[in-house]
Chain A
Amino acid sequence: MQTTTTTKFESTRFGPIEIQPESVIEFPNGLIGLSGSSYALVAREADSPFIWLHSLEDPALALPITNPWRFFSDYEVVLSDAEAARIGVSNPREADVYVTVRAAAELDEFCANLRAPILVSGGRGHQVINEAELAPIRAPLFDASELAA
């Protein structure tokens, strides 16, 4: 979706949202298993670690994402040569890296998908497979003891 004007849409979660053209992220291959290719980052709370990757095509489709290094200081992204060639990024740290978050009723059940991070660079996004050894697909974000009141 090429646009030079603000994109406005009605999010089922957040109501009316305005997106600046430079905030639109095109996913040439979409997100794995999900339809659509145009998304934008939507931040709802100041200093929350979570932001939303919101579809610009489906008003009900949005995924919480986070910067993995906020929770996993030694997180590593390793791409196969084929993946690096596919997305046109040789060094993953050149891109903005996000991981999807599976939310739950309790914070101590939140998990991040470290196996399939999302790399954003130059208005384009790609969900890639991380070949690093320790990259669980469901990595708990919070230790229960950290959350105890």
Chain B
Amino acid sequence: MLIITRRNGEKIALGDDITIQVLDIAGNTVRIGIDAPRSLPVYREEIWAAVKQENEAAAKADATQVRRPPARV
């Protein structure tokens, strides 16, 4: 992992198309601005990781498990 220290207001450039800026620091919270191409998804990492986990779990299903439920449902 590349580790960079920034002060409030400073930026990081990722390649030519992405810029990350520290906008505000208050206690334990950092407000971060991200300038990136519109097509690039940007996620809170814990959400990305949880969705990845659900996708992988869904992809484990075999055909016999996924069947029409009983008529009463």
- B4 in the interface (beta carbon within 8 A): no
A101 in complex: contacting residue of B39, B40, B58, CB < 8 Å: B58
Q: Which residue of B lies closest to A111 (CB)?
A: B54
Q: Which residue of A lies closest to B69 (CB)?
A: A107
Which bracket fits the contact residues of A?
35 or more
With contact pairs A32-B48, A103-B66 given, residues A147 and B55 touching in the complex (Cβ less than 8 Å): no
Main secondary structure of the interface of B (DSSP, over half): loop
Write the nearest CB–CB distance from B13 to chain A, whole angstroms.
20
B contacts, CB < 8 Å to A = 38-43, 47-63, 65-70, 72-73
Q: Establish whether residues B68 and A45, one from each chain, have CB atoms under 8 Å apart when the complex forms.
A: yes
Q: Give 9 new A-B contacts, CB below 8 A, not counting A32-B48, A104-B65, A138-B54.
A: A63-B59, A65-B58, A82-B42, A101-B61, A102-B57, A127-B51, A137-B54, A142-B73, A146-B73
- CB interface residues, A 27-86, toward B, < 8 Å: 28-29, 31-34, 44-45, 47-50, 52, 61-65, 82-83, 85-86
Contacts of B62 in A (CB 8 A): 13, 103
Write the nearest CB–CB distance from B32 to chain A, whole angstroms.
14
With contact pairs A34-B59, A101-B58 given, residues A29 and B67 touching in the complex (Cβ less than 8 Å): no
Contacts of B60 in A (CB 8 A): 103
Per the bound structure, the CA–CA distance linking A45 and B14 in Å amounts to: 47
Enumerate 21 A-B pairs (CB-CB under 8 Å) in ascending A order. Answer: A14-B63, A34-B52, A34-B56, A44-B66, A45-B68, A48-B67, A49-B68, A49-B69, A61-B59, A63-B58, A82-B42, A101-B58, A101-B66, A104-B65, A113-B54, A113-B58, A115-B51, A116-B54, A129-B51, A137-B51, A146-B73
Per the bound structure, the CA–CA distance linking A85 and B41 in Å amounts to: 10
Q: Which residue of B lies closest to A138 (CB)?
A: B54
Contacts of A115 in B (CB 8 A): 47, 50-51
B55 in complex: contacting residue of A34, A82, A142, CB < 8 Å: A34
